[in-house]
């Protein structure tokens, strides 16, 4: 792990996906993955994201990248 990966970036990038008919927030960047690790979950809850926002984080939503055969 190089030094750029250990610096805290105040942006949490997440992707919204459907799991069993429920929307879930899947962490995309390292900071979002660390937050999920602290919460001991694989996805982030609305509550965890709201707390992160109060801590000064910005939440960015990304779209999934489609494989070439679906594009």
Tens digit of pLDDT for each residue in 11-66? 999 998 888 888 889 999 999 999 999 999 999 999 999 999 999 999 999 876 65
pTM: 0.73
Judged by DSSP in three states, 64 sits in coil
Pairing of strands 11-19, 22-27: antiparallel
Q: Which residue has the tokens 């609305």?
A: 46
Cβ atoms of 59 and 52 closer than 8 Å: yes
CA atoms of 46 and 43, how far apart (whole Å): 10
Structure-model confidence comparison of residues 52 and 5, the more confident one:
52
- In DSSP terms, 19 is beta-bridged to 22
Using 50, 70 and 90 to split pLDDT, how confident is the model at 70? low
- pLDDT at residue 1 is higher than 90: no
């Amino acid at each position: 792990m190089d030094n750029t990966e250990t610096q805290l970036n105040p942006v949490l990038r997440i992707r919204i996906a459907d799991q069993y008919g429920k929307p879930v927030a899947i962490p995309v960047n390292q900071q979002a993955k660390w937050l999920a690790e602290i919460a001991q979950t694989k996805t982030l809850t609305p509550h965890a994201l709201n707390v992160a926002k109060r801590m000064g984080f910005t939440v960015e939503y990304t779209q999934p990248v489609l494989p070439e055969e679906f594009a």
